Structure 1
């Protein structure tokens, strides 16, 4: 089929996430290799967002494809989640060795939202408390409870939802300031958060969920000292810390796990996306030894048919081998400097660039509509110039996404310096469109 036929049939017979399907004009991709995507007609796109910040090792890695074929040919393709399998034994042990601290037990799921759903259950069952804290500047998944934790506007159409979810401001919110320095932001936010905890009743709160580095809502690392300060505050009240690393884990930030940057250890860690580089669906919840011991004597009330699916676990093994053997985590750390230098050059040249940031290969460029720093798009909105810029990128063979006033820069961790600069050269040309919309 050609691109037009594929799109027409998909629109006629399938539904689309987060979209009105009528006006939607999706790209049709037939194959992918490395950091590039290809249409049926052979047009090449540089994948500058790893699809959904998830294809961490790049597309169609030959070593992983070979291992997938071996798993199909020589192993059990399905086992009920009540079964013990060799690959389950191996991958659990491997993750225990890779995750710092005493997170040594893992519950395998089908993706990140489901990992967070099970983390909510585990926190409530372990503590005997009901309430969950999370931040407005967050996204934790589209399933029911994960969506109630989510702060961004995708939650609105899914309300009313389950009870017990309390959302708080972020230490670096969109339009509010807890201070101008990291020290001020950390101290002021933790003071504010403790007051919220007092209002809600510490004895009623099971856990606080945080994206270690905020993903869709701005690619925002926490201010210095905030995560250790949060850890200490939650410990004071017996509240668990859950780090959602579905998007920022597995090398994306230049370390295998993002919390390694910030000097604090979670009680529960959730992961997905980069765990299999999205070659197949898989997520996981990791818990500390103390929590794992609780569930050796108490029922964990969670599970679905495809949990701990042996084929998916085998793919995760192969992906982890490639990621570590080829030092893709180290490459993400090295390429951070290239990305930041390219972003700084764009800000110097383009009046529409408001701000930029990157940690590893987790980056974002903010756009403004005037020289006073007014964001080019409103909260939960867009701007015609941004839409035109995104159309230009599509025309020029660059695949990425924008979120309100923010342009995402999250290529596969396998990207070379030349490929990274190739992407920023297209962005450089596209920003001329948003420059024309700058007022004054």
Structure 2
């Protein structure tokens, strides 16, 4: 099927004028999307695709939720923009609703334009609060594309931007399937990963470390759900050495894991939480930092040296208010937990039992990853770390041909649909994946 005239025009102008992120520009053939609703998008050829990517794992409330669309329009008619040093209703209410849901005393909210600058400001706050500079984060992580955030990141997107002068240090986190510690079970992996982190802190010098930054559940890096004991151990190490614990909830927050914040799974309260994406499903760019009482007090009489023109933009925060209220009223967080536990998780594990290309299934809520391998015994990945392969390209094409928009990274296929996914939609997605995985199976030995 050919592109519609409107879609063809959009594609032509894109290829002529648009510079895309994380891409070699000459190799791109971007899909044109023309509309979306709920868990589905429509492309420029008129194909309706089940969105198992949530775009970039951000449309937690689904596409074009009428209450959020209406809230943006209503706010635009009243006050489109306002400088951040003024108070306004949308920002104040959004801050209240977020603070109601954060754990512990993280009741002060600094708004940013997205997740990367939320990390930038969280790190800046930690450095100023402690008077230290180093920041520790794990390999196999992603924290954003701006200067500090990309250096905190622990995946290959850091490499071209890493000059070794940003005060960031990486360590191995727990990941039993590809354990760096030769562990045989989760308890051993937890114990050895914590010992490794403790040793890293000791050798780097506790008095030099401002913060440890961890995705509560790593997202793009592979959805490796840590044990509660690991996260509690990190909290204890931070407390012992006066280190700020920053929980990155940009991808995992606002219902994605079946709770408002993924950190709730571990009975841990961090010092700072970064958020974005699901706070308003990306309808208007928004991110932020939830700040503990102790760190907020640091800046009670001391100027915080940072800000953004669009901090708490009224269109974005009005969208956040409508999103959070709709998620609460419609039980969307509970739906993510229920469908994930009862349908999506069991369904993915059942696929793994029949497809030799699936080495492991990991996740919770609407946050799942399939580790794809050439051989289950050796765990040889279907694509190299930091790259792709013909097998993964064919798998993506098979998903698209079947009517599913997937999310892939390296050798993994992620199942990360909107949190409003229904049981029937989950089963539809699983059926498409079942067929598509036969393509990957052909590359196994």
Shorter-normalised TM range: over 0.9
In structure 2, distance between residues paired with 1:41 and 1:384: 24
Q: 1:136 maps to what in 2?
A: 139
SS at match of 1:30: strand
Q: 2:211 aligns with which of 179, 183, 207?
A: 207
Q: Runs ≥4 in structure 1, deviation > 4 angstroms?
A: none
1:352 aligns with 2:353: no
Q: 2:74 maps to what in 1?
A: 70
Distance of aligned partners of 1:178 and 1:304 in 2 relative to their CA distance in 1, 3 Å threshold? farther
1:436 aligns with 2:439: no
Structure 2: runs of 5 or more not aligned:
none
In structure 1, distance between residues paired with 2:182 and 2:195: 10
Deviations 1:387-424 (A, max 9, x none): 11111212222111211110010000001010011111
Question: Is residue 185–residue 223 contact of structure 1 (8 Å, CA) maintained in 2?
Answer: no
> How far is 1:161 from its partner?
5.7
In structure 1, distance between residues paired with 2:318 and 2:39: 23
1:179-258 alignment to 2 at 5 Å? 179-258=183-262
Q: 1:333 maps to what in 2?
A: 337
Q: 1:86 maps to what in 2?
A: 89
Q: 1:58 maps to what in 2?
A: 62
More displaced, 92-101 or 323-332?
92-101
SS at match of 1:63: helix
In structure 1, distance between residues paired with 2:44 and 2:380: 41
Q: 1:46 maps to what in 2?
A: 50
Structure 1: runs of 5 or more not aligned:
none
1:379 aligns with 2:382: no
Q: 1:391 maps to what in 2?
A: 397
1:405 aligns with 2:393: no
> How far is 1:178 from its partner?
5.1
In structure 1, distance between residues paired with 2:179 and 2:224: 14
Question: Is residue 148–residue 166 contact of structure 2 (8 Å, CA) maintained in 1?
Answer: no
In structure 1, distance between residues paired with 2:347 and 2:283: 30
Question: Is residue 148–residue 162 contact of structure 1 (8 Å, CA) maintained in 2?
Answer: no
> How far is 1:371 from its partner?
3.7
Question: Is residue 350–residue 435 contact of structure 1 (8 Å, CA) maintained in 2?
Answer: yes
Question: Is residue 145–residue 162 contact of structure 1 (8 Å, CA) maintained in 2?
Answer: no
Q: 2:124 aligns with which of 121, 132, 144?
A: 121
Give the root-mean-square deviation of aligned CA atoms.
1.3
In structure 1, distance between residues paired with 2:376 and 2:421: 33
Q: 2:422 maps to what in 1?
A: 416
Question: Is residue 250–residue 274 contact of structure 1 (8 Å, CA) maintained in 2?
Answer: yes
In structure 1, distance between residues paired with 2:402 and 2:7: 17
More displaced, 366-375 or 423-432?
366-375
SS at match of 2:380: coil
1:156 aligns with 2:159: yes
In structure 2, distance between residues paired with 1:377 and 1:199: 34
> How far is 1:162 from its partner?
4.3
> How far is 1:179 from its partner?
1.8
Deviations 1:101-124 (A, max 9, x none): 100001000000000000011000
Q: 1:170 aligns with which of 164, 169, 173?
A: 173
SS at match of 2:386: coil
If the length of structure 1 is used for normalisation, what is the TM-score? 0.97
Q: 2:18 maps to what in 1?
A: 14
SS at match of 1:97: helix
In structure 1, distance between residues paired with 2:312 and 2:292: 19
More displaced, 37-46 or 54-63?
37-46
SS at match of 2:299: helix
1:343 aligns with 2:348: yes
More displaced, 382-391 or 418-427?
382-391
